[in-house]
């Protein structure tokens, strides 16, 4: 997080994380906070085994760094950013490509690196237009993502130089800008192959890249435990358990209404584990093997923080209900 405010004196950098402490006690009361925000933020971060640190220069502002190690994340994205159905994207839907990311801001480069982490794509970076042209001499790229405002050589100038080279005349060059001016937006859209406004979500980038990169069939995920693939088919219940299974279906459909939608939206670990434990108890009381298998796998995924696989397994819940319902329907 970057703050371009008044900055923090060096002797106050440690103090600001203490409760009720302000870096500048002389500020007007109207713009004072309680002095609790950073304290709460650091404590929440530490609860998740992360770290929160700050760098600051007076008169220039501050940069706060949040770092979390070995934290699995879902591919789910904000539904407010032109979400596709199911709200998730996978960059491995595209054939392996080499992308040139040109941005003078280190944080922005790290964000792009994070977006493509664990994909089969290759990323190379440049910090200005001049360096980008050198990279284009060294490697063959499929797409260039080009920041507009950079030192030494800015984005529009770099585009002009790229287009002077016959071999690069058709290369997709995507403008990336934080501009909020409608006139500048229109100009960038007309000059570049595409335009993305900062900040942007994964699916915004996915939608733009889909115009230039070849799609490939989605591979079967190797992150999903084998137990999911080997889960037994739903068989008819024993005659003495038919009524129990029919009642179970009603209970499961109630859970499909609540809390299942919230779990699929938030992927909260503890709540998902509790949901799965409830399912397993119901499975045992009704002797419903398929439900027991489903619940056990979901518990394992929650316990191992396998967020992506957990998301996919949760999505199978309605189909499981219908399978159980079909097995105990009158013939």
The model's pLDDT over 40-86, given as tens digits with 9 standing for 90+, comes to: 777 777 766 678 888 888 777 778 777 776 555 544 444 333 334 34
- Strands of the sheet containing 194-197, edge to edge, are 122-126, 98-102, 143-147, 173-177, 194-197
pLDDT at position 157 over 90 = yes
Q: What is the pLDDT averaged over residues 88-116?
A: 88
Higher-confidence residue: 306 or 257? 257
Task: Give how far Cα 185 sits from Cα of 109, 170, 189, Å.
Answer: 22, 21, 6
Q: Which residues contact 210 (CB under 8 A, 6 or more apart)?
A: 94
pLDDT in tens, 216-259: 754 433 344 444 444 444 567 888 888 999 999 999 999 999 99
305-308, long-range: CB < 8 A, 24+ apart: 305/71, 305/72, 305/269, 306/72, 306/223, 306/225, 307/72, 307/73, 307/74, 307/267, 308/72, 308/74, 308/75, 308/221, 308/223
**Domain range list for the chain:** 2-68, 85-209, 226-327
pLDDT of residue 10: 74
* CATH class of this structure's domain 85-209: alpha beta
DSSP letter (8 states) at residue 75: S
pLDDT in tens, 166-225: 888 888 999 998 865 666 777 788 889 898 888 888 888 998 998 899 887 544 333 444
Task: Give how far Cα 58 sits from Cα of 15, 19, 95, Å.
Answer: 16, 22, 47
Higher-confidence residue: 139 or 81? 139
Confidence band for 270, pLDDT divided at 50, 70 and 90 = confident
Ranges 50-64, 81-95, 125-139, most confident? 125-139
Confidence band for 5, pLDDT divided at 50, 70 and 90 = low
Backbone angles phi, psi at 173, to 5 degrees: -120, 115
Contact indicator for 129, 152 with CB cutoff of 8 Å: yes
What does the mean pLDDT of the chain come to? 79
pLDDT at position 331 over 70 = no
Q: If you search the block for the tokens 């394992």, which residue do you land on?
A: 300
pLDDT at position 121 over 80 = yes
Contact indicator for 98, 121 with CB cutoff of 8 Å: yes
pLDDT at position 310 over 70 = yes
Q: If you search the block for the tokens 């030494």, which residue do you land on?
A: 152
Q: If you search the block for the tokens 């105990």, which residue do you land on?
A: 328
CATH of 226-327, one of 1.10.1740, 1.20.120, 1.20.140, 1.10.287: 1.20.120
pLDDT of residue 117: 86
- Angle ∠(261,265,270) on CA atoms, nearest 5: 90
How many Å from the N-terminal Cα to the C-terminal Cα in the chain?
61
The lowest-confidence range among 153-157, 237-241, 259-263, 314-318 is 237-241
Taking only Cα atoms into account, the Rg of the chain, rounded to an integer number of angstroms, comes to 26
Q: If you search the block for the tokens 């904000």, which residue do you land on?
A: 78
Alpha helix ranges (H) inside the chain: 37-47, 106-115, 129-138, 155-163, 182-191, 202-209, 226-229, 242-257, 260-266, 269-286, 289-303, 307-314, 317-327
pLDDT of residue 184: 74
pLDDT at position 133 over 90 = yes
Confidence band for 304, pLDDT divided at 50, 70 and 90 = confident
Query: Given CA atoms 91, 93, 96, 98 in this order, what sign does their dihedral have?
Result: negative
Contact indicator for 73, 59 with CB cutoff of 8 Å: no
pLDDT of residue 4: 63
pLDDT at position 154 over 80 = yes
* CATH class of this structure's domain 2-68: alpha beta
How does strand 122-126 pair with strand 143-147?
A: unpaired
Longest C-alpha distance within the chain, in Å? 80
Alpha helix ranges (H) inside 6-93: 37-47
Q: How many CB atoms lie within 10 A of CB 68?
A: 11
């Amino acid at each position: 997080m970057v703050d371009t405010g008044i900055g923090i004196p060096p002797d106050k950098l440690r103090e600001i994380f203490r409760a009720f402490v302000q870096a500048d006690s002389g500020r007007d009361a109207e713009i004072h906070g309680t002095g609790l925000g950073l304290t709460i933020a650091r404590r929440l971060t530490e609860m998740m085994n992360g770290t929160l640190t700050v760098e600051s220069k007076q008169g220039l502002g501050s940069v706060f760094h949040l770092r979390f190690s070995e934290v699995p994340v879902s591919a789910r994205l904000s539904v407010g950013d032109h979400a596709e159905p199911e709200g998730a994207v996978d960059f491995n839907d595209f054939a392996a490509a080499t992308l040139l990311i040109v941005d003078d801001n280190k944080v922005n480069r790290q964000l792009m690196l994070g977006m493509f982490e664990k994909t089969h794509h290759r990323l190379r970076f440049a910090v200005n237009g001049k360096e980008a042209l050198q990279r284009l001499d060294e490697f063959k790229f499929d797409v260039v993502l080009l920041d507009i405002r950079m030192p030494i050589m800015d984005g529009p100038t770099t585009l002009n130089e790229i287009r002077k080279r016959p071999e690069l005349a058709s290369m997709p060059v995507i403008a990336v800008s934080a501009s909020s001016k409608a006139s500048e937006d229109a100009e960038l859209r007309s000059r570049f192959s595409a335009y993305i406004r900062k900040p942007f979500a994964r699916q915004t980038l996915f939608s733009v890249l889909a115009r230039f990169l070849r799609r490939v069939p989605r591979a079967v995920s190797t992150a999903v435990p084998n137990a999911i693939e080997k889960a037994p088919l739903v068989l008819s219940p024993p005659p003495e358990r038919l009524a129990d299974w029919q009642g179970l279906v009603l209970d499961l459909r109630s859970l499909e209404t609540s809390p299942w939608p919230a779990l699929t939206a938030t992927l909260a670990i503890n709540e998902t584990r509790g949901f799965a434990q409830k399912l397993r108890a119901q499975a045992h009381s009704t002797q419903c093997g398929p439900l027991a298998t489903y619940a056990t796998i979901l518990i394992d995924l929650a316990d191992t923080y396998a967020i992506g696989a957990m998301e996919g397994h949760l999505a199978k819940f309605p189909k499981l209900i219908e399978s159980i319902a079909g097995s105990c329907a009158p013939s």
